Structure 1
C-alpha cells in the first residue's frame, strides 16, 4: 500500500470528517438548539427521540453537532454531554458512563460502592455545577431492548428524575425500537420532538441521494471536483451502498485515498471500480457494467423489535431489502409515479 504525503494526509482527513448536511440534519440540529434555548426558561424540560436504522448517520450527526458547538465555546466548557450506552447496558452503568463523560474524577470507583440513588444524585450534582445544556444518549435501544413492565418503567422514572432535577433536556438516540420508551406514560408527553433518519431510496426520493453524492464530490480534496452525478455513477454508487450512508461514506473514503495515493487530479470511474473490487471482490462490479446491467437493492422494511418472539435472540428483526432488480428500471418507475 502506498502512503499519502503529509499534505495529502491532512486533505484526506478533512474529507473523512466532511459532513454533508441534508435537510433532515438541519432540522435535527435546529431541534437541539431549541431544546438548549428553552432550557433557560425552566419548567418541565422538553426532550427528544431520534431513531434510525444502523448506518443511517445518527452518530455522525451527533459528532458534527458537538463539533460545531465546541467551536463556539471555551475549551474547558462542556455544553453538550454526549454519551452512549455502555457495553454492559444497565441503568447504573449508563449513569456511571455519563459521570465519566462529564469528567467526574471518582466515577470509575463508584460502581458497586454506591446505591442507585447515590449514583443518580452524583450525576445531578455534577450537572448542576457545570454548564451542560443538553444530554445526548446514543445507542439507547441497548438499554431498553428485552425489557418491559417494571424494568422499563424504572428506566423512564430515573431519566425523568435526572432531567427534572438537573433542569437539562435529554435526547435519546437509537434504533427504531427505542420508541418503546415513548410508550411509558412518564415520557409520552415529554418526547414532544420525534425525528427519524432513513436510508436513501431510488423509488421515492432519488434526488436526495444525488444531492448527497454532489455534496461529497465538492468536498473531495482535488483541484478538479469529480463529476459523480451522471446516471451510470449514481446507479453504481447506489448498488454499492443500498442507500446506507455509512457504507457509502466508507466506500468513498477508500476511493479518494486510492486516487490521492496515485496522484490522480480527480476521482474517476477507474478508482471507483478499483475500490469496489477491493471491498467486494466476489460480486459483479457495477462500475464495469452497462447501465442496463446494474442491479441493486433498497430497503423495504427497517429493522424492528418483535415483542412476541420466543426468545431475546429472535426479538430483533434485521433490515429487509428488496430482491435484486435493475436500478435503471427502478428509476423509470419513479419518474412514472411523479
Structure 2
C-alpha cells in the first residue's frame, strides 16, 4: 500500500505537466465548432433586442456536452472589476430530480446569493435570480443536466417546468442554452411559445464506425488526440492496431474513450515511459473495470461486468456495438412504467467483417 501511495505522492513537476496535458486536452470537430458558434450567436444576437434566442444541446450521457460547455467558459472567463465580478457567461447544473423552486435556489447560490429563500415562491425566486444575473453582467446562461427538471411521470410537472423556463427567460431578458438528454426536448411539446424560443437545436452524436465517413471522423479525432499526447513515440491511436480496440471498448462514447486513454497515459507517465503501448491500455482497462459505476453503462442491454477486454486478444476475435437509436420519451407509458426509453445499440458485429471493407 505504501508503494502505491508513494507513486502519487512523489509525482514530479514534469510528470504532473504531462498528466495535465492529457486530461485537459480539448479536441474539436466541425460539429462541436458549429455548436460553439451557435452558442455565441445566441449570446450576441440577443443583445440587439427582441426576444432572447435560446438553444437546446442534446446528447446521451458522456457524449461531451459538459466538456463543450466548459470550453465555452474557458473562452469566456469571469472578469474581475473594481466593485464586482462580471460573470458574462453563467454556468450551472440542474440538481438531481429537481423542481423549478429548487433549481432557482441552486442558480442563486451559484451566483453568490446569500440571503434566505425561505417562504419565497418559484416566481419570486426567479425574479431575484433575474435581477442578480443583470447585476453580475450575465449575457447568456449555460444550464446542464436539463433532464433533471423533467424526469417525471406527470405531464403537469412538464407544464410547470415549461412555464418556469418562460418566466426565467422573459424576466431576465437573457438567452439560455440548455444541455440535456435527447428526450429532454419533450418539454417543447408542452408549450408552443417555449418551443419558439428554442428554435436552435443541436445534437452531439456518439462516434460510429460502420459507415466509412463516420469511421473516418472517429480516426481523425484519434489522430488529433494522438498528436497532442506528451510522448516522444506516438502510440498511433488512429491506426488499425488500436482504433478498433478503442471503439470496441468505448462503443463510441466520448467519456469512456477519454477516461481509458487518461488511465493508460497516466500509467505510462508514472512509469517514465516514452511511449504509450498496449500494456498501458491493458492496465488502464483493468483500472476502469475496478472502478466502474452504473453511470458508465451506456448500453442498457449489456451488463457492465460483461465489458470485454479488447487489448489482450487478436483484433480478429473482437466484436463491437455502436448506438443505433438515441434515448426517447414514451408518450403512452403505463402507470408505473418509465417514460424514458434508453438508447439502443446494434447487435454484436464481428470486427473482422468491418476491417475487410476499409
Q: Please report the TM-score for the alignment, with normalisation by the length of structure 1.
A: 0.91
Are 1:30 and 2:54 an aligned pair?
no
Could you give the per-residue CA deviations for residues 144-179 of structure 1, whole angstroms, max 9, x where no partner exists? 122554432332222222212322101111001110
Runs (5+) with no aligned partner, structure 2? 291-304
SS in 1 for 2:77: helix
Mapped to 2, the partners of 1:273 and 1:78 lie a distance apart of 43
- Stretch moving more, 55-64 or 74-83: 74-83
Residue 17 of structure 1 is matched in structure 2 by: 24
Q: Deviations over 1:7-31 (max 9, x none)?
A: 2123202311211111111011101
How much has 1:215 moved relative to structure 2? 2.1
Deviates more, 1:131-140 or 1:317-326: 317-326
TM superposition shift of 1:74: 4.0
Structure 1 residues 15 and 114: CA distance shift in structure 2, 3 A = same
Provide the rounded CA distance (Å) in 1 between the counterparts of 2:249 and 2:179.
Answer: 27
Deviation for aligned residue 1:182: 1.8
Q: CA deviation at 1:223?
A: 3.0
The match for 1:267 is 276
Measure, in 2, the Cα distance between the counterparts of 1:238 and 1:284: 12
Does residue 229 of structure 2 align to residue 220 of structure 1? yes
**In 1, Cα distance between equivalents of 2:329 and 2:200:** 22
Offset of 1:47 from its aligned partner?
0.6
Secondary structure of the structure 2 residue equivalent to 1:81? strand
Distance 1:321 1:199 in 2: 11
**For 1:186, which of 177, 186, 193 is the aligned residue?**
193
Structure 2 SS opposite 1:94: helix
In the TM superposition, residue 284 of structure 1 has moved relative to its aligned partner by 4.7
Which of 95, 103, 106 does residue 97 from structure 1 map onto? 106
Q: Which moved more, 1:159-168 or 1:187-196?
A: 159-168
Which residue is equivalent to 1:5? 12
Residue 134 (str. 1) matches residue 140 (str. 2) = yes
Q: How does 1:327-338 map to 2 (within 5 A)?
A: 327-332=351-356
2:325 to 289, 295, 301: 301
Alignment of 1:45-124 (within 5 A): 45-70=52-77, 73-74=79-80, 76-106=85-115, 109-110=116-117, 112-124=118-130
1:285/1:87 Cα in 2 relative to 1: closer, same or farther (>3 Å)?
closer
- Counterpart mapping for 1:197-276 below 5 A: 197-204=204-211, 205-276=214-285
Please give the root-mean-square deviation of Cα atoms over the aligned residues, in Å: 2.0
C-alpha change, 1:212 and 1:187, in structure 2 (3 Å) is: same
Deviations 1:28-51 (A, max 9, x none): 110111011112211111110111
Q: Tell me if the contact between 2:237 and 2:243 (Cα under 8 Å) persists in the aligned partners.
A: yes
**1:103 positional shift:** 1.6
- Paired residue total: 330
Cα distance in 2 for partners of 1:179, 1:242 equals: 24
Normalised TM-score (structure 2): 0.86
Cα-to-partner distance string for 1:268-323 (whole Å, 9 max, x where unaligned)? 12211232244348765322222221211111222222232224553222222222
Q: Secondary structure at the match of 1:50?
A: strand
1 CA distance for matches of 2:271 and 2:345? 36
CA distance in 1 between partners of 2:138 and 2:356 (Å): 50
Distance in 1 of aligned mates of 2:80 and 2:320: 47
